[in-house]
Structure 1
Amino acid sequence: MSAYLATTVRILKQLRADHRTVAMIVVVPSVLMALLYFIYQNTPALPGQPTMFDRIGISMLGILPFVVMFLITAIAMQRERTSGTLERLMTTPMRKIDLLGGYGTAFAAAAAVQAVVACAVSFGLLGLHTAGSAWLVILVAVAVAVLGVALGLLASAFARTEFQAVQFMPLITAPQLFLCGLFVPRDQLPGWLQAVSNVMPLSYAIDALDEVSTTASPSGQLWRDVAVIVGIAVVALALGAATLRRRTP
């Protein structure tokens, strides 16, 4: 437990000292949401129907934290490896699960701040409207950001350089973006693509956010979707710990 807490505190201190990374985590999703607002600002909507910004924006509150946290986590973890810090830590009695758990907790805290700020800007300044509570949107956004952290840590376990870590991003995120229901409803996909979509965690995030946008009270389906997201994040962390190499090739 002490090793886990020490790793968490160390990573949080490193993040606090890295102002560019902090800006990337906290500011970029909010800026992109503002850009999306101005893109759809003058798009007409049918009476009684949500605006285009409401329809697209609610999904982007899940997608943007996922993509940003995946990229930052994968690169940061790989930088620890190439600098020799990770190898030195692995020569100590520290367990791999303590190491990845510390990284995951630190970046999950950053992800929570990111999600809260992005949702506050979207609802408070940009006028995003949903039938459900904004707190449910924040909950799903945090869960998806944590998923991005976990998958980023897992991807970094297979990469040997920061460039290779970046290359994992389109491999892992692009198919999920195409099949999550953002462009075409999942029930309109060909049968085999629906099956692929059903095993991709981002699909459950979009389903959960769609429910919040249209339903005032959360259902059991929403909680199931959130549980699937969190469960996959835990599995990704466990796989990352199992595949983490003690020595850098």
Structure 2
Amino acid sequence: MNASRTLATARRVLQQIRHDPRTIALLLLVPSLLIGLVSWLFSDTAVFERVGPAMIALFPFIVMFLVTSITTLRERRTGTLERLLTMPLGKLEFILGYTLAFGLLAILQALVAVGFAVWLCGLTISGSIWLLLAVALADAILGTTLGLLASAFARTEFQVVQFMPAIVFPQILLGGIFIPRDQLPDVLHAISDWLPLSHAIDALNAVAADSESAEWIGGRLLIIGAFAVGAIVLGSVTLRRRTP
């Protein structure tokens, strides 16, 4: 793997996105607007205090998954990836370059979403705001890497959307947003332990309530990171040069 080629790929992706204001708005503003909508819907209740941390995990995760998977698939469908891979650029360098580029955007997204939820929507955070930001960032990067993995298998943008019921929806249903995970049936609870979004939601809830130690939060971050690294490796192995 060559670091300079990875950085060059990341730079190219960022330059492309810079000229696409709609994608920038989708990445940076839409998660915060959706969090604000949830806050407004439950403004006269305590519901937002309960589900707010999960929303910080959910909306950036979904947005990063969609944008990353569709953008990467477009590179393959237009033949850009095939032309790039005729040069010394390898598949892993391509995937890492995209991860780095969207990871930088994820940092901005996490800053905006956390700041909006805490200071404008009034979400109460009893723990460290920096830990909350770290978990939100790890969650957004997880969405990026899973999007890259989905794009390696999809042939069309429609197929990318079809991956959401398989990859995203089970994590939403079993992640503890609707029912606390400890109240799930034993089988579903065991399945949820193997879903990375569950650990992101658990960590954000724990930081918001200041109910767990920093070491426990760090353990959840390691789990999220392991899933992200696994998605990068699997995506680089299965990535096709061009969609037939």
- TM-score range (shorter-chain normalised) is over 0.9
Query: 1:1-16, aligned counterparts within 5 Å?
Result: 1-16=3-18
Contact kept? 1:8, 1:103, Cα under 8 Å: yes
Q: What does residue 20 of structure 1 align with?
A: 22
Q: Secondary structure at the match of 1:164?
A: helix
Moved over 4 A (4+): none
Cα deviation digits, residues 163-213 of structure 1 (max 9, x gap): 111211221100000001111111211111111111000110011011101
Q: What does residue 46 of structure 1 align with?
A: none
Query: 1:22-101, aligned counterparts within 5 Å?
Result: 22-43=24-45, 51-101=46-96
Contact kept? 1:132, 1:217, Cα under 8 Å: no
- Give the drift of 1:248: 2.9
- Give the drift of 1:217: 6.8
Q: What does residue 154 of structure 2 align with?
A: 159
Contact kept? 1:54, 1:130, Cα under 8 Å: no
Q: Structure 2 length as normaliser, TM-score? A: 0.96
Q: Secondary structure at the match of 1:64?
A: helix
Contact kept? 2:76, 2:82, Cα under 8 Å: yes
Q: How far apart, CA to CA, are the structure 2 residues paired with 1:220 and 1:159? A: 38
Q: How far apart, CA to CA, are the structure 1 residues paired with 2:226 and 2:171? A: 17
Q: Secondary structure at the match of 2:92?
A: helix
Q: What does residue 241 of structure 1 align with?
A: 236
Residues 114, 135 of structure 1: CA spacing in aligned structure 2 closer, same or farther, 3 A cutoff?
same
Letter in 1 for 2:51: I
Are residues 1:225 and 2:227 paired? no
Cα deviation digits, residues 132-184 of structure 1 (max 9, x gap): 12221111110000000000000000001111112112211000000011111
Report the aligned-residue RMSD. 1.2
- Give the drift of 1:218: 3.4
- Give the drift of 1:215: 1.1
Q: What does residue 142 of structure 2 align with?
A: 147
Report the identity percentage. Answer: 50
Q: How far apart, CA to CA, are the structure 2 residues paired with 1:135 and 1:63? A: 18
Number of positions where the alignment pairs a residue of Structure 1 with one of Structure 2: 242
Contact kept? 1:65, 1:145, Cα under 8 Å: yes
Q: Secondary structure at the match of 1:92?
A: coil
Gaps of 5+ in 2: none
Contact kept? 2:31, 2:59, Cα under 8 Å: yes
Q: How far apart, CA to CA, are the structure 1 residues paired with 2:121 and 2:81? A: 42
Letter in 2 for 1:12: L
